[in-house]
């Protein structure tokens, strides 16, 4: 065989091989990894493409996070919208028990929280502290998130593993400023029990008195809060 003929055959074989690889479908496992990567990189176009190609939207990363939970952690509402529309589980939790709803509430991501609420999430899915999305939202002063959650079926009087309700956390772990005053008022207006005490038997009113949160004290007293006469807590006025 002439050298030129051998070279021609060789090139033909190589070309056919390359075309074969080009036309070969991406393995599903690789596609799933690409989806997680695309969400992490906030690549909206690639996320949409991979979802359209059938990537597993329930696949979890090394931390147990689904693509949706990753999107929520980055506050990527449009990516979250694509994933939810494709059927992503809004209740799936990671290794530390965060779910899309719980994380959005704790972070104060209002728009993405509203998107999740449209999918009727489970309100009895709790975080690692045994709490609802409402409790950390109250602690961190996310006023609009709190008001939004109070319009849902979330248990306003739920007690977490630390012995705290949303109202208690809005007092115990706060600075008593305007945001937390507004949150306490919102909780009271929504029907929160103002007399549920913590594991030590200390009521919200007692905590507010001890911390000198005079405006919160007034809100609680107006709502019928009581203070145990057995506990003589110092009152320090802080405005």
Write down the domain spans for the chain.
Answer: 123-239
> 233: pLDDT confidence band, cut at 50, 70 and 90?
very low
Tell me how far apart the alpha carbons of residues 160 and 133 are, in angstroms, rounded to a whole number: 11
Q: Is 56 exposed, middle or buried, given 0-12, 13-18 or 19+ CB atoms closer than 10 A?
A: middle
- Distance of alpha carbon 90 from alpha carbon 103, whole angstroms: 11
Homologous superfamily assigned to 123-239: Ankyrin repeat-containing domain (1.25.40.20)
Q: What is the torsional sign of CA 109, 106, 165, 208? A: negative
pLDDT tens digits, one per residue of 171-205: 999 999 999 999 999 999 999 999 999 999 999 99
24-68 pLDDT per residue, tens: 456 778 999 999 999 999 999 999 999 999 999 999 999 999 999
Alpha helices in 86-200 (DSSP H): 100-107, 110-117, 134-139, 143-149, 166-172, 178-189
Cβ–Cβ < 8 Å for 219, 188: yes
């Amino acid at each position: 065989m002439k050298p030129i003929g051998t070279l021609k055959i060789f090139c033909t074989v190589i070309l056919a091989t390359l075309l074969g690889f080009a036309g070969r479908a991406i393995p599903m496992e690789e596609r799933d990894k690409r989806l997680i990567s695309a969400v992490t990189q906030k690549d909206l176009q690639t996320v949409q493409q991979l979802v359209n190609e059938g990537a597993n939207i329930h696949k979890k990363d090394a931390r147990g996070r689904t693509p949706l939970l990753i999107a929520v952690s980055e506050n990527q509402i449009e990516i979250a919208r694509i994933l939810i529309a494709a059927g992503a589980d809004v209740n799936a939790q990671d290794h530390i028990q965060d779910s899309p709803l719980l994380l959005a509430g704790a972070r104060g991501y209002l728009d993405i929280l509203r998107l999740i609420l449209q999918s009727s999430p489970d309100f009895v899915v709790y975080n690692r502290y045994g709490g609802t999305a409402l409790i950390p939202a109250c602690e961190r002063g996310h006023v609009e998130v709190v008001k939004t959650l109070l319009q849902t079926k979330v248990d306003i009087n739920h007690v977490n593993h630390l012995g705290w309700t949303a109202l208690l956390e809005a007092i115990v772990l706060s600075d008593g400023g305007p945001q937390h005053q507004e949150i306490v008022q919102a909780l009271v207006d929504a029907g929160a029990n103002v007399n549920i005490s913590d594991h030590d038997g200390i009521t919200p009113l007692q905590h507010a008195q001890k911390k000198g949160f005079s405006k919160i004290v007034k809100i609680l007293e107006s709502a019928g809060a009581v203070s145990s006469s057995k506990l003589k807590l110092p009152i320090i006025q802080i405005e």
